[in-house]
Structure 1
Amino acid sequence: MTTLSVVIPAYNEEDGIAAIVERILAIKPDLAKVGVDGLECIVVDDGSQDRTAEIVQSYGERVRLIRQQNKGYGGALKTGFAAAQGELLGFLDADSTYPPEYFPKMCEIALDGADLVIGSRMAGAHSEMPIVRRIGNTIFATMLSVVAGVRISDSASGQRILRRSILPRIYPLPNTLDFTPAMSTRALHENLKIVETPIPYKERSGRSKLHVVRDGLRFTKSIVWTALTYNPVRIFGGVGLLTLILAFLILIGQLGGQLAGLLDQWSFPQLFGALVLAVAGITLYTTGTTFSYVVALFHRDPIRQGLFGPRGNGRRIEGHYWWLGFLSILIGVGVYVAAVIFNLTDPSLAASWFAPVLSALLVLTGVQLVSAWALARVLAELSRRDSEKQADLKWAEEVAAVAVQQA
């Protein structure tokens, strides 16, 4: 017997809680048609100061009421999940903005093998979402798609179905409104099977509890920091790559100006800026790859993803850091020796500082690359040893179990 537990977080929702409860209770026959025999409706009253709890109590045993001090949207959902009895967990808001009539279809998708089913408000169904929030949701979905390497259209949808069994993999989750984008980010990086299905969306009457700027910043922070705990190279590497591109564009601009006769001489401040940006970009990228090995060791799982694709498709450029580093050091030393030989460090020259600075930056970049290579090798070896240790322990347990059976 499969049961769906629907959790409704409620805070001062006396005007709408009865309507959404009635709609949820009405979907029980449709749930049975797709193989879900039981329905549990749970309302978590998150410190309401109106008649929300009183209205829910009037439904008797048909609806479970859980009352708690205000813990926030995510906190209310986690309380509901902990109390739920169903193998499938669903949730939606108490203001009738999301359609519970779509739960049977979402359950059917979950029973077909999906770990997380997201009702997408951005996938083509009718939506009354205000333009500002639509733009914001598009930005967040694009951001999540970039950092996770998997396309998703609605990272913050508040109507979902998930299997109870995935909770240990997606926890911890925040108590605040960024609960849903954090869930999406963790689920994607845990390689769970996520399916989006279009749902209509109705804008709530009255004032929304969502603050565009404050919660937008919170959503961004949640996506970025969660991604960093799984795949640092996507963040650090992406920023480092943009920095390197900017440095390249400055150099191209200088070279093009010289060839076109638009510049009489090289702009050394711009060249210096380009060099600093290039070094910063390389540092950020090597930091990201190193962090990826730390994360893999922490999770005891080779979950590292590359900058250019999902897990398994990353370009392991860190294996080349050692010779790139030594080459950079040699070039840096060569630049300084050449500058001394050709007297380019003469204080009377307008740009006498340039060659020594270029030499120093190249040498430091080389040291950074060699150090990152060595650290990556050490962390990879530690990860390998840990995997072999776990395999040996499992093998020993299996041998011991066989010996007990034969005794």
Structure 2
Amino acid sequence: MNLSIIVPVFNEAGTIKNVVVNLKNELGFLDLVNFEIIIINDASTDNTAQILSEIENTRIITHPYNKGYGAALKTGAREARYDWLMFYDADGQHKPEYIKKILPHLENYDLVAGERVGYQGPLIRQPGKKLVHWLAFYLFKQKINDVNCGLRFVKKNEFLKFAHILPNGFSISTTTVFAFLKEKLNVKFVPVEINKRAGGKSMVKPNQAAVYFMLIFRLVMLFSPLRIFLPVSAFFFLVGFACLIYDLTVMNISEGTIFILITSILIFLFGLMADQIAALRRELHE
């Protein structure tokens, strides 16, 4: 098979050289017809650029300014020559020996991602991650334990179909999985072990709760707004209907009852409109 490996880099001077060397060593043992390594330097401010200039047999693409992890992946995907893409982080966490364990699954799937075994991540992220995992089950009826692993394989043509709706930040990993599941594409998760982060610095920020809340809201509105609007509308309708029954018994329909019933109708209509807009947006570039 032919494979384009995309490695996004931002201030990973301490790890990028070893990551690429280990990656090349592993790729040499695999049954690949052709492969290329594309490194996207997302405007690093350390000496990453100098180190990249010393690495041979790779394609180096440099952003003029920092665009984000997701933007780097999309840049690499657009520049890739081959039909299958492999995303691989530059911080030294991924173990290249797991690549050969994932490759056999590519024949039957459109996206195959690593599922980090025993990985919990920073405590501040746990509530948000649990909500995202619950949301995936609620929207797609599929249990997912890890939507953020950076090691993943994806068909180039399918990935680029969604490029216009994929975010430029780290939430691209979650959004990509949701997009593929929404379109009924075949998604597979393969258990992998990871190393302790060797370089760079974590991008965890104090506002993680707000970030995850906005991510969840965005995912719902993008992929299945009716799954939220419809239950809320039904709740208001049932309350309004109960109030209407009571009002009829006293022969006086109150303004509050009318307001609740109208609210339920408006929420339902907003849900229909949001669902149509979401569908049009997903299909915009198809």
Which bracket does the TM-score occupy, shorter chain normalised? 0.7 to 0.9
1:110: Cα distance to partner?
1.5
8 Å contact kept, 2:178–2:223: no
Following superposition, the deviation at residue 16 of structure 1 comes to 0.2
Report the Cα offset of residue 193 of structure 1.
Answer: 1.0
| Aligned residue in 2 for 1:306 | none
| Closer, same or farther: CA 216–19 of 1 in aligned 2, 3 Å | farther
Shift of 1:130: 4.5
Aligned-pair CA distance for 1:239: 5.2
Higher RCO structure (Cα 8 Å, ≥6 apart): 2
The one-character-per-residue Cα deviations of 1:251-305 (angstroms, maximum 9, x if unpaired) are: xxxxxxxxxxxxxxxxxxxxxxxxxxx56x769xxxxxxxxxxxxxxxxxxxxxx
Q: In the alignment, is residue 221 of structure 1 matched against residue 214 of structure 2?
A: yes
Once residues 133 and 371 of structure 1 are traced to their aligned partners in structure 2, the CA distance between those partners, rounded to angstroms, is 35
Match of 1:66 in 2: 61
Tell me the residue number matched to 1:387: none
Q: From the CA coordinates, give the structure whose radius of gyration is larger.
A: 1
Q: 1:86 aligned to 79, 82, 96, which one? A: 82
Please give the alpha-carbon distance, in whole angstroms, between the structure 2 residues aligned to 1:6 and 1:46. 16
The number of equivalent residue pairs is: 271
Name the SS for the 2:157 alignment partner: helix
Partner secondary structure for residue 211 of structure 2? helix
Residues 92-171 of structure 1: pairs in structure 2 closer than 5 A: 92-111=88-107, 113-121=108-116, 125-127=117-119, 129-133=121-125, 136-171=128-163
Indicate how the Cα distance of structure 1 residues 146 and 30 shifts in structure 2: closer, same or farther if over 3 A, else same: farther
Identify unmatched segments of 5+ residues in structure 1: 245-277, 284-324, 340-355, 383-407
> Which of these residues, 24, 41, 45, is aligned with residue 45 of structure 1?
41
CA contact (8 A) 2:11 2:46 kept: yes
Gaps in structure 2 of 5+ consecutive residues: 277-286
Residues 128 and 217 (structure 1), Cα distance of their counterparts in 2 relative to 1, 3 Å cut: closer
Identity %: 25
Which amino acid in structure 1 is aligned with residue 255 of structure 2?
Answer: A
**Amino acid across the alignment from 2:149:** S
Q: TM-score, normalised by structure 2?
A: 0.80
- 3-state DSSP class of the match of 1:26? helix
How far apart are 1:231 and its partner, in Å?
Answer: 1.3
**CA RMSD, aligned part only?**
3.2
| Cα gap change, 1:37 to 1:187, in 2 (>3 Å) | same
Paired residue for 1:77? 73
Q: 1:142 to 1:371 in 2, by over 3 A?
A: closer
Alignment pair present for 1:188 and 2:188: no
Matched, 1:22 2:21: yes
Change (3 A) 1:153 1:282: farther
Alpha-carbon displacement from aligned partner over 1:164-196 (angstroms, at most 9, x marks no partner): 121244232111121111212222212221111
